[in-house]
């Protein structure tokens, strides 16, 4: 501190004796412990002390540790609590001993999270390179509880940034704690991946945490997941989520969302999303779970028919790539669609528009891959003979066994009979069918011999015939 003002070390005792004697020398010339502490105190911080000592920081800290040890050896440690602030905090600012706490291995990352939340423990934590006994201590459990409390308060303007930083820390793989919490590292990485996918510009890269408590992330996770759910809901539809995720296809986007929802269910966090519109329907619009039905393998062709009838169902069906809800929400089955379609056909007030007729024509062209439907094949052929290419080619699909065809059969046969009636005679009918007279007679005989059990109202066919 005073290299050019103090006597040589070998002369110190002589000078002490001289000053102590009654020879006119002032005792204020003595440079004692309190004057040393006062000089250090005046430097205010570690940087200034380094400059005063003309020394680098490690050497200065080593020198300061010797001073502190000497203070304790001299039984004058109270001076560090009441008068002389010479203990640096973790910013290098000198503090009184009573204003500092011992840092018991708190990871730097958690201190940074706490700073973002509005509290800076580094101001009151003793510099890590300083050795000094303190009455107060701060540890990993204490900072975990404080971080959780501040997240719960939700008052920090930097809450999202702090939460993102916290989830970017995952337990160190070699940590002995992992032997008791094998799945936590995988779980932590999953949460980080979901957040990074949705907000990749703001979620930091993953870093490891050497010390942690199992409850460190609990409150943060709940807040993060709830926030991500809200972010998804605000996007309103799959296409907007696709833009955010930068995925290549809409299907890939829905698969990501399915994984996210499955993660919530596996983590017992499904309640966070059950009332939020993040469940895509089959039009790619986000809905609440309660607004949707589970698609019990309804063929797409039947959904198309309902569209033509003006009663679309895709808007109320959960997207097929959202997995895990086959038993937990109400189902829509082929039998339900069959009833809806048959009710529409049966309703005499229904406007039989071009779309209505197209729906019937498409419907009669659908055939099950698993059952023999000879009479339906005949009905399709009769319609094809009358209406030619207006009737689509036969389409064989699965899961039609529970569909009732009687209303559809009745409608199309009734229309065919009406076309025959309008033909007036065999020659006109032959011209319509592009058949010769003999084939026309055979065709008509076969039509009149169709089994009536395939119709909803057998008498209506008999009367028309």
Within a domain: 197? yes
Torsions phi, psi for 171 (to 5 deg) = -60, 140
pLDDT tens-place string over residues 153-212: 999 999 999 999 999 999 887 656 555 556 788 999 999 999 999 999 999 999 999 888
Within a domain: 326? no
The pLDDT score that the predictor gives to residue 105 is 94
The pLDDT score that the predictor gives to residue 289 is 96
Do residues 148 and 242 share a domain? yes
Please name the residues in contact with 11: beta carbons below 8 A apart, sequence gap of 6 or more.
none
Within a domain: 160? yes
Do residues 84 and 114 share a domain? no
Domain tally, the chain? 3
Do residues 425 and 374 share a domain? yes
Within a domain: 21? no
Residue 20: pLDDT band with limits 50, 70, 90 = low
Output DSSP code: residue 453.
G
How far apart are the C-alpha atoms of 302 and 289, rounded to whole Å?
23
The pLDDT score that the predictor gives to residue 30 is 65
Checking if the pLDDT of 9 tops 70, the result is no
- The mean per-residue pLDDT over the stretch 29-37 comes to 81
How far apart are the C-alpha atoms of 390 and 419, rounded to whole Å?
15
Antiparallel, parallel or unpaired: β 294-295 and 94-95: unpaired
Listed residues 296, 325, 348: the one ending a domain: 296
Give the domain range for residue 354.
336-464
Within a domain: 127? no
Do 87 and 68 touch, CB atoms closer than 8 A? yes
Residue 423 φ/ψ region, left for φ over 0, alpha for ψ in the -120 to 50 degree band, beta for the rest: alpha
pTM for this entry: 0.84
The pLDDT score that the predictor gives to residue 11 is 55
> Which residue in this structure is represented by tokens 């007729």?
357
The pLDDT score that the predictor gives to residue 31 is 65
- The mean per-residue pLDDT over the stretch 412-430 comes to 92
The pLDDT score that the predictor gives to residue 26 is 52
For the chain, the C-alpha Rg in angstroms (whole number) is 42
Checking if the pLDDT of 414 tops 50, the result is yes
Do residues 115 and 95 share a domain? no
Residue 259: helix, strand or coil by DSSP?
A: helix
The pLDDT score that the predictor gives to residue 464 is 46
pLDDT tens-place string over residues 205-263: 999 998 888 899 999 999 999 999 999 999 999 999 999 999 999 999 999 999 999 99
Question: Regarding predicted confidence, which is higher, 354 or 459?
Answer: 354
Torsions phi, psi for 201 (to 5 deg) = -80, -15
Q: Considering only CA atoms, which of 58, 147, 135, 137 is closest in space to residue 105?
A: 137
Within a domain: 129? no
Do residues 286 and 404 share a domain? no
Greatest mean pLDDT among 143-147, 415-419, 430-434 lies in: 143-147
> Which residue in this structure is represented by tokens 């000198």?
94
Max CA pair span of the chain = 154
Do residues 86 and 151 share a domain? no
What tokens does 301 get? 């062709």
The per-residue pLDDT of the chain, averaged, comes to 90
Within a domain: 341? yes
Do residues 112 and 261 share a domain? yes
């Amino acid at each position: 501190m005073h290299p050019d003002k103090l006597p040589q070390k070998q002369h110190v005792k002589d000078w002490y004796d001289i000053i102590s004697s009654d020879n006119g020398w002032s005792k204020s010339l003595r440079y004692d412990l309190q004057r040393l502490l006062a000089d250090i105190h005046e430097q205010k911080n570690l940087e200034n002390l380094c400059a005063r000592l003309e020394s680098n920081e490690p050497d200065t800290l080593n020198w300061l540790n010797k001073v502190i040890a000497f203070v304790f050896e001299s039984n004058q440690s109270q001076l560090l609590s009441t008068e002389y602030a010479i203990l640096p905090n973790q910013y290098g600012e000198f503090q009184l001993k009573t204003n500092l706490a011992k840092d018991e291995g708190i990871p730097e990352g958690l201190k940074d999270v706490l700073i973002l939340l509005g509290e800076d423990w580094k101001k009151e934590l003793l510099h890590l390179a300083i050795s000094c006994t303190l009455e107060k201590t701060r540890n990993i459990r204490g900072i975990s509880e404080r971080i959780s409390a501040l997240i719960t308060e939700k008052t920090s303007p930097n809450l999202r940034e702090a939460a993102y930083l916290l989830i970017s820390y995952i337990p160190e793989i070699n940590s002995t704690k992992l032997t008791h919490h094998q799945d936590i590292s995988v779980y932590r990485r999953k949460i980080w991946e979901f957040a990074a996918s949705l907000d990749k510009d703001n979620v930091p890269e993953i870093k490891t945490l050497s010390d942690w408590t199992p409850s460190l992330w609990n409150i943060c996770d709940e807040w993060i997941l709830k926030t991500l759910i809200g972010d998804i809901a605000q996007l309103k539809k799959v296409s907007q989520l696709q833009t955010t995720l930068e995925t290549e296809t809409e299907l890939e986007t829905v698969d990501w969302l399915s994984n996210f929802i499955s993660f919530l269910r596996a983590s017992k966090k499904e309640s966070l999303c059950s009332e939020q519109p993040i469940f895509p329907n089959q039009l790619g619009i986000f809905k609440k779970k309660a607004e949707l039905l589970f698609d019990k393998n309804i063929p797409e062709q039947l959904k198309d028919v309902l569209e033509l009838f003006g009663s679309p169902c895709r808007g109320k069906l959960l997207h097929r790539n959202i997995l895990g809800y086959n038993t937990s929400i109400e189902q829509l089955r082929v039998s339900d669609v069959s009833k809806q379609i048959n009710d529409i056909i049966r309703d005499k007030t229904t406007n039989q528009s071009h779309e209505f007729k197209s729906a019937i024509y498409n419907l009669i062209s659908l055939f099950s891959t698993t059952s023999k439907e000879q009479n339906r094949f005949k009905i399709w052929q009769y319609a094809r003979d009358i209406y030619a290419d207006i009737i689509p080619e036969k389409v064989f699909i699965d899961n039609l066994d529970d569909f009732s065809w009687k209303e559809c059969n009745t409608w199309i046969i009734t229309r065919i009979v009406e076309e025959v009636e309008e033909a007036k005679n065999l020659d006109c009918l032959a011209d319509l069918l592009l058949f010769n007279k003999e084939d026309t007679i055979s065709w008509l005989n076969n039509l009149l011999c169709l089994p009536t059990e395939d119709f909803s109202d057998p008498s209506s066919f008999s009367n028309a015939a």
